[in-house]
């Protein structure tokens, strides 16, 4: 499945039309204030395109997990305020995402105006559309055309991402962000410039083993870090002290290491580690050990070591395409962040196409101050991994064919 086989926002006549756009405004909030507006900023090209084509914009999104009930702490009102500042024009805010009052607001909406609907997940029908089918049809009544620009939720078969498309035959299109996301990921998967290097970190092998399998048939080298490395070490009989691992996936890890001998892809594990007795900021005393000697009892692995950093940098410097998802250590603690930070800084200077996905990886890129040096920052960590695993996403499949 290629997004270029699907209808694009560029194929739609938007003049005097009401464009119902699924965006991903699932932003982090602290005390009602947005702490990172990158997802809102990523939606601006599509919103501005509709406005430039003299259409009206109706935005819908979810925020957090309110479980189908109204909860003011999950209101999208802060997003309306921030979007208004970014667009330098008023953004109307609806008190709900469907119902008579919302329909009245939509009827009064003129070309060139922007309306943000309240959190979709205040209704159970968003996440469970088959339980509340009228919810999808109520949303569909609000627009003349449907545009999906929410890559971060394109792997969810929800009312606003898949079910709604059938109400817009030949009028359900991909937005500019969705096209950009798939073009970068598609390039990395279908015809990458080689060598293609993938870096996978994070805590759990259980959430990524299918992605590792998929990448082993596509990448030239796979660099592993984060707590998932300890499940691999356990499968090789290497002592891991008190480090986190998934006992039920030890056999899977062993199989994945066996695949390396049969595939073109080399799978590299850390060769040294930073270890500590406690995994918090109050305890910063660390040791560096060789993986071969194993982690002693009472200690946990908290970061990749200097020799691993050097080894991984050599691989990254040779690469022509790089995909990174997941931190390589407990990067939230400054004393344990060197591996993740150094890899982020390396990606900023390599001569390669660089693609970074996943909230923690993006946070590390921001922390390192190199976000502008990365070719593509994916707004959807889970979606990008599912696209790598399956080669398609429900939210894209549902769009109209060209």
196 marked as part of a ligand binding site: no
Rounded to the nearest integer, the mean pLDDT of the chain is: 91
297 marked as part of a ligand binding site: no
Tell whether omega for the bond before 391 is within 30 degrees of 0, i.e. cis. Answer: no
Band of pLDDT at residue 61, cut at 50, 70 and 90: very high
Q: Is the pLDDT of residue 196 over 70?
A: yes
CATH superfamily of 192-390: Phosphoglycerate kinase, N-terminal domain (3.40.50.1260)
151 membership: H or E segment, kind and range: none
Q: Is the pLDDT of residue 191 over 60?
A: yes
Show Cβ contacts of residue 375 under 8 Å, excluding neighbours closer than 6 positions. Answer: 184, 353, 354, 355
Instruction: Give the lowest-confidence range in 152-161, 278-287, 292-301.
Output: 278-287
332 marked as part of a ligand binding site: yes
201 marked as part of a ligand binding site: no
DSSP code at position 130: T
Q: Residue 282: its pLDDT value, please?
A: 66
Inter-axis angle of helices 338-349 and 359-368, to 10 degrees? Answer: 70
How far is the C-alpha of 272 from the C-alpha of 45, rounded, in Å?
44
Q: Is the pLDDT of residue 188 over 90?
A: no
Q: Is the pLDDT of residue 263 over 80?
A: no
Band of pLDDT at residue 93, cut at 50, 70 and 90: very high
339 marked as part of a ligand binding site: no
Band of pLDDT at residue 346, cut at 50, 70 and 90: very high
Tell me which residue has tokens 């996943």: 358
Q: Is the pLDDT of residue 38 over 90?
A: no
pTM of the model: 0.85
Instruction: Give the lowest-confidence range in 30-34, 126-130, 226-230.
Output: 30-34
380 marked as part of a ligand binding site: no
Q: Is the pLDDT of residue 278 over 80?
A: no
125 marked as part of a ligand binding site: no
374 membership: H or E segment, kind and range: none
Q: Is the dihedral of CA 266, 344, 253, 206 positive or negative?
A: negative
Asked if the domains 9-179 and 192-390 are classified in one and the same CATH topology, the answer is: yes
Domain boundaries, the chain: 9-179, 192-390
For residue 188, the tally of other CB atoms under 10 A from its CB is 25
Residue of 341, 327, 324 lying closest to 202 (CA atoms): 327
How far is the C-alpha of 93 from the C-alpha of 267, rounded, in Å?
49
226 marked as part of a ligand binding site: no
32 marked as part of a ligand binding site: no
How far is the C-alpha of 164 from the C-alpha of 398, rounded, in Å?
9
Q: Mean pLDDT across the stretch 142-155?
A: 94
Instruction: Give the lowest-confidence range in 78-82, 127-131, 200-204, 260-264.
Output: 260-264
Q: Mean pLDDT across the stretch 67-95?
A: 96
121 marked as part of a ligand binding site: yes
Q: Residue 281: its pLDDT value, please?
A: 65
How far is the C-alpha of 220 from the C-alpha of 319, rounded, in Å?
9
Q: Mean pLDDT across the stretch 313-335?
A: 92
Q: Is the pLDDT of residue 3 over 80?
A: no
Q: Is the pLDDT of residue 26 over 80?
A: yes
CA distances from 305 to 6, 243, 365 (A): 45, 15, 19
301 marked as part of a ligand binding site: yes
208 marked as part of a ligand binding site: yes
Arch. (CATH architecture) of 9-179: 3-Layer(aba) Sandwich (3.40)
Band of pLDDT at residue 1, cut at 50, 70 and 90: very low
Residue of 242, 368, 241, 225 lying closest to 304 (CA atoms): 225
Q: Residue 261: its pLDDT value, please?
A: 58
Q: Residue 391: its pLDDT value, please?
A: 78
Most confident of 210-214, 239-243, 308-312, 384-388: 308-312
Q: Mean pLDDT across the stretch 63-68?
A: 93
Catalogue the active-site residues.
Answer: 39, 204, 359, 382
Q: Mean pLDDT across the stretch 215-229?
A: 93
Q: Residue 11: its pLDDT value, please?
A: 95
């Amino acid at each position: 499945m290629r997004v270029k086989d699907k209808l694009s926002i560029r194929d739609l006549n938007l003049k005097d039309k009401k464009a119902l756009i699924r965006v991903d405004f699932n932003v982090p909030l602290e005390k009602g204030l947005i702490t990172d507006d990158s997802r809102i900023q990523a939606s601006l090209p599509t919103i501005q395109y509709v406005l430039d084509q003299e259409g009206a914009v109706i935005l819908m999104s979810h925020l957090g997990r309110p479980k189908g009930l109204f909860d003011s702490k999950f209101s999208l009102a802060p997003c309306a305020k921030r979007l208004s500042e970014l667009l330098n024009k008023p953004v109307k805010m609806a008190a709900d995402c469907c119902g008579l009052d919302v329909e009245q607001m939509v009827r009064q909406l003129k070309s060139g105006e922007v309306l943000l609907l309240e959190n979709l997940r205040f209704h159970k029908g968003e996440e469970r559309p088959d339980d509340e089918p009228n919810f999808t049809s109520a949303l569909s009544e609000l627009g003349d055309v449907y545009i999906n620009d929410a890559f971060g939720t394109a792997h969810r078969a929800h009312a606003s991402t898949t079910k709604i498309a059938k109400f817009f035959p030949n009028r359900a299109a991909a937005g500019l962000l969705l096209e950009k996301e798939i073009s970068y990921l598609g390039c990395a998967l279908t015809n990458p410039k080689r060598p293609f290097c993938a870096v996978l970190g994070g805590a759990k092998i259980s959430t990524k083993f299918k992605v590792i399998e998929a990448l082993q048939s596509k990448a030239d080298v796979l660099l592993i870090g984060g707590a998932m490395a300890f499940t691999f070490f356990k499968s090789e009989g290497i002592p891991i002290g008190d480090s986190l691992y998934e006992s039920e996936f030890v056999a899977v890890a062993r199989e994945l290491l066996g695949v390396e001998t049969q595939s073109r892809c080399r799978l590299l594990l850390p060769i040294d580690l930073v270890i500590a007795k406690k995994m918090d900021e109050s305890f910063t005393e660390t040791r560096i050990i060789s993986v071969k000697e194993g982690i002693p009892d009472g200690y946990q692995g908290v970061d990749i070591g200097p020799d691993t950093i050097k080894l991984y940098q050599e691989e990254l410097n040779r690469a022509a395409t790089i995909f990174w998802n997941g931190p390589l250590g407990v990067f939230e603690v400054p004393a344990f962040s060197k591996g993740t930070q150094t890899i982020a800084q390396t990606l900023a200077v390599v001569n390669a196409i660089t693609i970074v996905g996943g909230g923690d990886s993006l946070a590390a890129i921001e922390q390192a101050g190199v976000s502008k040096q990365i070719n593509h920052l994916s707004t959807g960590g889970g979606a990008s991994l599912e696209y790598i695993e399956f080669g398609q996403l429900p939210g894209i499949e549902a769009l109209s064919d060209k």
